[in-house]
Amino acid sequence: MKQAPDSVAQKNLKESDSTLDRASVDAVLNDLDEYAIEAALQFSEAQTSEIPNRITLLSMGPERATEAIRKGFSMGADDAIHVVDSALAGSDALATSLVLATVIADREVDFVLCGTESTDARMAVIPAMLAERLGWPQLTFAGEIEVDATARIVRIKRMTDDGVESMESPMPCVISVVEQINEPRYPSFKNIMAAKKKPVETLSLTDLGIASDQVGSAGSRTTVVDFAVLPPRAAGVKVTDDGTGGDQLVAFLAAKKLV
């Protein structure tokens, strides 16, 4: 999961290092990650096994990402791992996936659930990159998930532009979920209170054995050359339909040679 700027906020890059100006916007739990947390909760609640499931949140980000972790706790997640290190600033997707995969590879995990993308960077590559780094199968863009915990098989409906693919994979695997999969719950009062006491394990790059030049701006394999903020789009002509609105619309399109 990731803390991302509130998706209704105006986002800007900083002049100094061409990274997202996080200080100027309200940050929240990335909208799309809520669906992944909800999917994990629904899976966990449906299990009848004696051994309880544990839902661990994993986030890489600055100190204030703990706010997003609290949101995940208040939905019902059990514990969290937060990778914080000043050297991580400016990490691209390759560096980010390296850090996340290093944490995951070190633990006993049945499957990793992700949102498909963050609402700020919107690359939608991290789940596939995690699968690549971990050497695990990927089940991405899931609109439905079915877990057979006994057989250790996960089945999903993969939502593509061409339709729906039914897929299955052994565990462990990396799953990403699309927003139509569920309706994320609102935190209950009980969970909001409990969220304050849930454990967050904080890890640094040293803890993970990752050299600081492998991540951050230094370890990223892409760089921003320059950027420019465009002037906002101006409003054009607005007419009120007097019975000829449709004809006026077509006249506008014709003048623009669009019909």
Partner 1 sequence: MNQVLVLVEQLSGQITRASTELLTMARRFGTPIAFIVGDDVSAQVSQYGAAKVFRGVAPEYDLHPVAPWVDALAALVTQLSPEAVLIASSAKGKEIAGRLAIRVGSGVITDAVDISEGFVATQSIFGGSTVVHSKVTEGIPIITLAPNALEPTASPVEPSVEDLVVSFGEITTAARVTGREQATKGGRPDLGEASIVVSGGRGTNGDFAAVEGLADALGAAVGASRAAVDAGWYPYTHQVGQTGKSVSPQLYIACGISGAIQHRAGMQTSKTIVAVNKDPDAPIFEIADFGVVGDLFAVLPQATTAINARKA
Site for partner 1 in 34-53 (CB under 8 A): none
Contact yes or no for 113/72 (Cβ under 8 A): no
Q: How far is the CB of 82 from partner 1 (least distance, A)?
A: 24
**Contacting range for partner 1; rule: CB under 8 A; set: 144-152, 186-194, 208-216, 243-251:** 243-251
84 touching partner 1, by CB under 8 A: no
Task: State which of residues 84, 89, 93, 200 lies at the interface with partner 1 (CB under 8 A).
Answer: 93
Buried residues in 194-223 as b, exposed as e (16+ CB within 10 A): ebeebeeeebebeeeebeeebbbbebbeee
How far apart are alpha carbons 30 and 196 in whole angstroms? Answer: 20
Of the candidates 33, 53, 199, 187, the residue with the CA atom closest to the CA atom of residue 124: 33
The position carrying tokens 């609109």 is 143
226 touching partner 1, by CB under 8 A: yes
Task: State which of residues 39, 40, 173, 203 lies at the interface with partner 1 (CB under 8 A).
Answer: 173
Of the pair 6, 79, the CB lying nearest partner 1 is at 6
193 touching partner 1, by CB under 8 A: no
23 touching partner 1, by CB under 8 A: no
Contacts of 151 (CB under 8 A, 6+ apart): none
Cβ of 86: how many Cβ atoms within 10 Å? 11
256 touching partner 1, by CB under 8 A: yes
140 touching partner 1, by CB under 8 A: yes
16 touching partner 1, by CB under 8 A: no
143 touching partner 1, by CB under 8 A: yes
